[in-house]
Structure 1
Amino acid sequence: MHKAENVPRTLAKHELPQLVLWLKSKFPKSLPVYHLIKNALREDWAWPGMDVMVDTFPRPAICICRTSPFKGKLVNVPMLNGHYIFVYANNQPSFLNLLRKNFDKLANWSETATFIDVDEDLGQILLDHNQQFARVTFGDNFGTGGNCFYFDLALWTDRRDTFPIPNHFRVGHLSVEHLDQIVANCAAGDAKAKKAFFTQLLTKGFPTAAIFDTNHAQSSAPVVYCMYMPQGSISAVYLHPDYREQGLFKMVTAELINTLYNIGEVSVWMESVNVNFPTQLEDLHSLGGRDYERHRKCWIQYVPKISKKVIPEKTLPQKAQIGESPVPEDDTLSDMESDEEDFYAERGSSKKYGHSISERQRQAAKSHWY
């Protein structure tokens, strides 16, 4: 019996293989964290600056993966919004207890921190919990039925010959040549962070799939593509609006899954699949995907509040870049908050607290699917 520790501890690399085996048995709750740690054991797919924390070892009730903080200085390669926190928790009480006792140690709260691909029940706890460090925003899929699709590649059957690609299309992969297009098509994240993030994916061999229209003047630019993420999901999906309703989403998804199968991956998943797109759901089912209706993912973002009071340095995680983290004492906007206000204003949103999404983001989201 392993007694839970009062404070989560960071694991060493040699401890990760044993943890991977434990997390594999906790499907589907452990999906993102399991894949992140499994990929961390590969030299090429290990995410720079990521650490792994557990409440106990080797059978944790809680496991957290954190990527490096980001203040515009690329010390390590950031995720799309910088400081990402991935959480596995076997139940809500365990997670709530962790937040109550160790919330200040989970992140560098002087920076924007995003809990990503978190189970929706845990997301609600995060929304309700301690907001003294930050104001909170949450993902567009929160509470709207974004389901998780899972592909067991041991059961994968190559079905690409059942929906042949028209002659004027060419199947291929993404490269750094397409970096500017990928960054421009991605609605989320800081521009510098996005460029660094996608450069890491494209140069370290993370699988991608793309389809090109050879009849188009810009034949070197893909009209649809998708990418394999460090957390084991298919994401960064883009479909040009002029090419909807031609079955290209299904084709490019099948191409990427087949690539993963051929290199020995045993599973892959797709996050936040919107149930309001029945054709998309039909395509994923036809490819062998399983829809977990009660297993939904969301993201929760904490945006720092800055004022004259400073959170003591000892409350910040050891590996974080230590900086001033004041607690708010009035409604005056800091420089950082003003920047955030400008960010939302530029995107047509006036909501300061809670959920907000601009028309530009809505259109970008639509172009991702059909």
Structure 2
Amino acid sequence: MRYAIVSETYPPEVNGVALTVQGLERGLRDRGHDVVLLRPRRAGETGPGGAHELLLRGAPLPRYPGLRFGLPATQRLQSAWRASPPDALYVATEGPLGWSALRTARRLGIPAATGFHTRFDAYMRDYGAAFLEPAALRWMRHFHNRGDATLVPTRELQQFLQARGFDHVVRLPRAVDTVSFSPCRRDPALRAQWGLATAAPAVIHVGRIAAEKNLDLAVRAFRALQSRRTGARFVWVGDGPERARLARENPDFVFCGVQRGEALARHFASADLFLFPSRSETFGNVTLEALASGVPTVAFDYGAAREHLHDGVHGAATADGDEAAFIAACVRIGSDATLRGAMRDAAPAAVAALRPARVAADFDDILKALQRAGRPDARSATA
């Protein structure tokens, strides 16, 4: 089969969408398929791209340094796909390039699935524009309903979108590399670099350091724990617009910057408690990585936490929005080494079945089903 994947973010960019897309692409290739990746050309990037890439025009994404969005490319896509049409298409992002891809697919009769990766509607409240949430959701519904299937990672999100008029919503679980992310990656030397005494707990946050991540709650939870365990340290992995403020206001925090590959796995496994206070995630891949690393996790009960984190066994999944419960869970787990040890032993089993090869097979089956259903009649790009 010949597949095409359209995404406006891709490694070496570090975010959940980029890494998920890369995993799906590699999974399809491992299954013997021909996969072409279409993405915006990065700043300073020259040449035609890799053998299985089509690079298109892009522009900087406001408030997200280093990231770009794809510009409209309908004519370029029509030319490429008339010459060599894919059997099915996956559109991972809702930017101008994604719209062009769906418009072209409809015109040429190419089956297309979309991925619902980001709750842009929920982001509105984090940037002071909560009144725009309904409009953002309508815009996203219009985009995804132009495809033939919308892929989501959880049953919760599937039901949410179906109740709001999204058509053909299909659940595709996320995967985690349990070989890379493992308790065996724990590194005493790294913990010493963080300034930890032997028995002191290391609290970690991994992800973009930005307003939509609800990070002030993580700070308050850690300070409550620190009042009980004075040797505790808070380690931050990632970067973003809020880093400078947090570092200025909290000089005792340890900021490690963006980590990748084995280094990221060592940072995860060397921690004792993962705090994930975000309420705007579509899923939260880092939750899977923390559990695979044997790190008890405190998160709100939605997304990956609702799907995979058993409250009281692998950490705490507190009621969505209950900040007092979130803080209390941080203090309870963070100050009890015996409880953390039991959770550390139990956590990897929560995600053991989420093998990348299994998810790739499910993704392949979805795309094949669209192709077997027959290419839809070519429809007007303005339909």
TM-score normalised by structure 1 residue count: 0.28
User: Which structure ranks higher in relative contact order (CA pairs < 8 Å, sequence separation ≥ 6)?
Assistant: 1
Greater per-residue strand proportion: 1
Q: Which has the higher helix share?
A: 2
